[in-house]
Chain A
Amino acid sequence: MSTTSSVPDAHEGARNDQAPAPAPRGPVARPGSRLLHRWVWLRLSLLLSAPLAWMVLIYVVALAALLITSLWSVDSLSSEIDRTWTLDNFRTLIENEVYRNVTVRTVGVALAVTVIDVAIALPIAFYMAKVASPRARRMLVVAVLTPLWASYLVKVFSWRVVLSEGGLAEWSGLGSPGYGLTAVVITQAYIWLPYVILPIFAALERVPDSLLEAAGDLGAPTSMVVRSIVMPLLVPGIVAGAIFSFSLTLGDYITVNIVGGANQMLGNLVFVNAGAANNLPLAAAIAMIPIVVMLVLLTAIRRTGALENI
């Protein structure tokens, strides 16, 4: 900021003041800059145009095209995409029980992962936010955050090694479930756990200690304090964490490839149809399933009002 160049009468008041600017301006204000200063909409559209063009031209158009493609089909002889409208893909999804089974399996795995993660995260987050000393708290946050930065594939790989034949799980005497759906649930719960702990911890940190102390002083037993003070303040954090783990599991198909044995999730079907099976329209239609599941879930949660506070 060059104070030497400031001119006292360059004062212009509020930023969307569109009165003509005083003629003598400091040397720093070039014509382009002066124009921008005067026209708020021009500044805003210059700021917005590039990022908005990127997001709309690339992402929104791609999503819209996905919806349209799902209504096309593939010519079985030439394997070219046939651009006539048809609901065949969706009929296949409903009538063929493979798709039904895979959808149920995927949603089931996502639900199991979410329930396990919330169940583990609640006591940990509570200990971190309300029991541990401030010093220990900071160290615990770092300890929980660090694996978040470790590579996703490394984490899946590490469970593949732990659960392998002759691996740590077998050696420890606990026994390994082997590669299968249980291994998928364990691995996914492991990977997304920090994403669930953090929002719950953040929500708990916002619960004022004084409130808990007051309840305690007035004679409320711990269970009652948890039920009527902690939980209501905690729900948004739990919902946020649950949405994370559910959505992330729903869209994952790498873990099931690595530790899931022969099992398939929705993502596998999408990937196979987009690649090897060369049926983009069917792949697009299958991809609509997780979108619909997420939309139904978010609408249901919104009804309860829990989304407002995230």
Chain B
Amino acid sequence: MTLSSTARRTLAVLTAAVLVLIYLPLLVVVLNSVNPNQSMTWPIEGVTFEWWRRAADSAGVREALATSLQVAAIATGIALVLGTLLALALQRYSFFGKHSVNLLVILPIALPGVVTGIALNNGFRGILGIDLSLWTIVIAHATFCIVTVFNNVQARLRRMGTSLEEASADLGAGVFTTFRLVTLPQLRSALLAGGMLAFALSFDEIIVTTFTAGGGANTLPIWILNNMFRPNQAPVVNVVAVVLILFSIVPVWLAQRLSSDVEAAR
């Protein structure tokens, strides 16, 4: 197909316009973090670091951040173990009900967020009769994080084949030794990618979290949601948002490094 140069140019302009539209709101948030006007009117008249100072001093932000990190770390740990086990089972064996298991793993993120949220809320409170707490958030997050680890590990297992593992077994290594010395090292970057995705997913999750968070446990997204509507807290929320935007560059950078490592190794 030969595209006319007009068509090419139109497509390029469209793409550029959408990219601008994608980044513009984020840029506005970044600039507003130094906006002296509390109601963040545009354009900005002057520069202040008052909001940054207030955010740094805020105990609420610090506590919420600690809770979020804790939840994300534990949920990611659980997801790494369960997701890897599941990927090994589904990729290396065939058994009755395999497709159902596959579907079951995807379900928590395929179903709309409110459904997963209310199902777990009802399960914890209505059926089991336990109070919502930090641990109910962890359980909920781990449940929908398994799929990211599972996907990454399964894709890696498929590509890696079984010849090295078979060679190891033929040379007399036991099941565990083969896993530790042959399978695991090959899975390392897949585990890192899956774990990073799971961590980010948990760190950012708000819908299921609102249904499973106990009174005392506020994750950072919940803190943001609660403070966004308070006029004198909104600029602090804005600063937290900027920090989160800056943080979100880290995984992208890491992923790029990882994939270029893979390409270099080929």
A interface residues, Cβ below 8 angstroms from B: 1-3, 5-7, 10-12, 15, 25-26, 28-30, 32-34, 36-37, 40, 43-44, 47-48, 50-52, 54-56, 58-63, 65-66, 69, 81, 120, 123-124, 126-128, 131-132, 140, 142-147, 149-155, 157-162, 164-168, 170-171, 190, 193-194, 212-213, 215-216, 220, 222, 225-226, 247-248, 250-254, 257-258, 266-267, 270-271, 274, 280, 283-284, 287, 290-291, 294
Q: Is the CB of B114 within 8 A of A63?
A: no
Q: Is the CB of A271 within 8 A of B211?
A: yes
Closest residue of chain B to A9, judged by CB? Answer: B172
Whether, in the assembled complex, B146 has its beta carbon less than 8 Å from a beta carbon of chain A, the answer is yes
Total A-B Cβ pairs within 8 A: 303
Find A150's partner among B83, B122, B225, B248 (CB 8 Å cutoff): B248
Q: Is the CB of A15 within 8 A of B225?
A: no
| Chain A residues with CB below 8 A from B12, complex form | 127, 131
> Please, could you name 15 A-B residue pairs with CB atoms under 8 Å apart, sorted by A?
A2-B177, A37-B174, A47-B93, A51-B86, A55-B143, A66-B119, A152-B204, A154-B245, A157-B237, A165-B39, A170-B42, A171-B42, A258-B225, A258-B228, A267-B112
Q: Is the CB of A222 within 8 A of B1?
A: yes
Residues A157 and B1 in contact in the complex (CB < 8 Å), given A30-B174, A58-B123: no
Closest residue of chain B to A249, judged by CB? Answer: B112
Find B248's partner among A146, A159, A253, A280 (CB 8 Å cutoff): A146
| Chain B residues with CB below 8 A from A271, complex form | 114, 117, 210-211
B interface residues, Cβ below 8 angstroms from A: 1-4, 7-8, 11-12, 14-15, 18-19, 21-26, 28-29, 32, 39-43, 78, 81-83, 85-86, 88-89, 93, 95, 101, 104-105, 107-108, 110-123, 125-127, 139, 142-143, 146, 166, 168-177, 181-182, 200, 203-204, 206-207, 210-211, 221, 224-225, 228, 237-238, 241, 244-245, 248-249, 251-252, 256
